[in-house]
Amino acid sequence: MTALAIRNGHLIDPAAGVDTAKDILLKDGRVAEIAGPGKLKHAEGAEVIDAAGLTVAPGLIDIHVHLREPGQGYKETIATGTAAAAAGGFTAVAAMPNTTPVNDSPEITRWMQSPERGAQVRVFPIGAATRGSKGETLNDFAALKAAGAVAVSDDGQPILKDGVMRESLAAAARVGLAVIQHAEDTRMAQGASMNLGPASFRLGLRGMPPEAESSLVERDIRLVSELRDAHPHLHVAHASTAAAVAAVRQARRNGLRVTCEVAPHHFLLTEEHVGLYNTHAKMNPPLRSAADRDAMIEGILDGVVDAIATDHAPHAPHEKEVEFEHAPNGITGLETALGLCLRWLHKEWRLPLGRVLSLLSAQPAALLNLKGRGTLAVGSYADVVIFDPKAEWVYRVAETKSKARNTLFDGWTMQGKVRWTICEGRVAYTNPA
């Protein structure tokens, strides 16, 4: 494998506490050397990337994506989804198991990681917590982990039964995995297609109360607390309500291993973006009230939120061109996450660049225990994103690498243009100025 020398860039590696001008040498898929500008000692013969004026950072890691394979290749494939990931600066994604069939076996877990899938960046499967994600019978977590699963979840299908959730937390703790819960008490959200509130009344749509999320988060935290001697790790997927984030904050104060992620659409948009039945604004959890949206931003700024994850949920165009209540949930997110985080979290709300990058790489890597990722310390995987932090650009969905077009961010101004995405030493995406 050829060596790559990234010269003249500004290295930000939050996990290593680096924020300075550095050259970096990638060799054999790993970070081989870091030195001051022009000081690399072993870069002879290496291909050179001139990163003058650019930020060099650990490749981004999205711990919540839907790549739709196996079984739903008409929406997205592992190849197209990861191409979108690379374009967005991501070098690793964790793929949810709600595929067809559900990824509840080591065979499917391995199938997803096979080179034949044509992945452009590293894919880490998340195994289903229960058989068929039906919330009844636990899967063999040790076998899933051995096959490469980095967590267990029934995403999309919350684990409602107390006993099954308790078992999941305990079993996952024994093999050192997190249980990722899609927190939604579906018994409180029958037929709902948006947030419950004035907007749902006005539009004549059935609403999902915020308590459907927060009550399940609170239930799960109670279970973690009961099992605290076993040290279970609960990760709350796509937190969207003030009450859920508050519950996570309190659990952490009580010393419990409870983490959470927030999606860009939940810290930027509200239920008002449903407009007049725009199905691209239909997702689960739904876009919430302005107060909930503010609480997501607050949670990110004050550190209770551990990761930004996109919940990239591609759908075929015809699936979204239907009556609002019949449209599938979800919005794509891989290509817009960095641009939105820099434009809003960093530029608008003054979150330091290092913290933004940490939420997109170091913290998610730590959360899922992805060894050697989320940092560019010597010896780590050569997963790098190189971007122009000053560049403003407009996102055009027509140019997406994803198969899907279901975004609300078409035409939005983004900050920070990805120039190179390098995954394990290989250039996965490039768009030099």
- Give least dist CB 182 to Zn ion, A: 4
Q: How far is CA 177 from the centre of its chain?
A: 17
Q: Which one among 38, 101, 118, 198 touches other proteins, defined by CB under 8 A?
A: 198
140 vs 211 by CB, closer to other proteins: 211
Q: Under rule CB under 8 A, how many of the chain's residues touch other proteins? A: 42
Least gap, CB of 55 to Zn ion (angstroms): 31
Q: Which is nearer to Zn ion, 33 or 218 (CB)?
A: 218
Minimum Å distance from CB 336 to other proteins? 13
What, of other proteins, Zn ion, none, does residue 163 touch, CB below 5 to 8 Å by kind? none
Among positions 41, 204, 371, 433, the unique one binding other proteins when judged by CB under 8 A: 204
Build a one-symbol-per-residue string for 152-191: x at contacts with other proteins by CB under 8 A, - elsewhere: --------------------------------------xx
* The one segment of 37-45, 294-302, 330-338, 353-361 that binds other proteins by CB under 8 A: 294-302
Site string for other proteins, 307-326 (x = CB under 8 A): -----------x--xxxxxx
All residues at 6 or more sequence positions from 293 whose CB lies less than 8 Å from its CB, including other chains: 266, 267, 268, 269, 270, 287
Residue 1 touches other proteins, criterion: CB under 8 A:
no
| 338 strand-pairing partners | none
The answer to whether the CB of 177 falls within 8 A of the CB of 141 is yes
Single residue of 41, 202, 350, 371 touching other proteins by CB under 8 A: 202
Q: Which amino acid is at 190?
A: Q
CA distance 257 to 366: 13
136 binds, among Zn ion, other proteins, none (CB under 5 to 8 A by kind): none
Alpha carbons 402 and 137: distance in angstroms, whole number: 34
State the nearest-atom distance from the C-beta of 237 to Zn ion, in Å.
5
DSSP 137: S
- Helix, strand or coil for residue 428? strand
Contact 358, 375 (CB under 8 A): no
The Cα 124–Cα 399 span in angstroms is 26
Residue with tokens 């948006």: 194
Q: Are 22 and 11 in contact (CB under 8 A)?
A: yes
> Between 162-175 and 210-226, two packed helices, what is the crossing angle to 10 degrees?
50
What mask of x and - would describe binding to other proteins in positions 227 to 266, judged by CB under 8 A? Answer: --------------------------x-------------
- State the Cα–Cα distance between residues 433 and 430, nearest whole angstrom: 10
Catalytic residues: 311
The SS3 assignment for 357 reads helix
Between 333 and 362, how does the x/- string for binding to other proteins read (CB under 8 A)? Answer: -----------x---xx-------------
Shorter beta-carbon distance to other proteins: residue 339 or 374: 339
CA nearest 430: which of 6, 69, 3?
6
Residue 265 Cβ vs Zn ion, minimum distance, rounded to whole Å: 13
**Position with the least CB separation from Zn ion:** 182
In three-state secondary structure terms, 314 is coil
Peptide bond into 97 cis (omega under 30): no
Q: Between 28 and 302, name the residue whose CB sits nearer to other proteins.
A: 302
User: Would you count residue 206 as binding other proteins (CB under 8 A)?
Assistant: yes
* Residues facing residue 392 across a β-bridge: 415
Applying CB under 8 A, the residues found at the interface with other proteins are 190-191, 196-206, 253, 267-270, 272-273, 275-278, 290-291, 293-294, 297-298, 302, 318, 321-326, 344, 348-349, 412
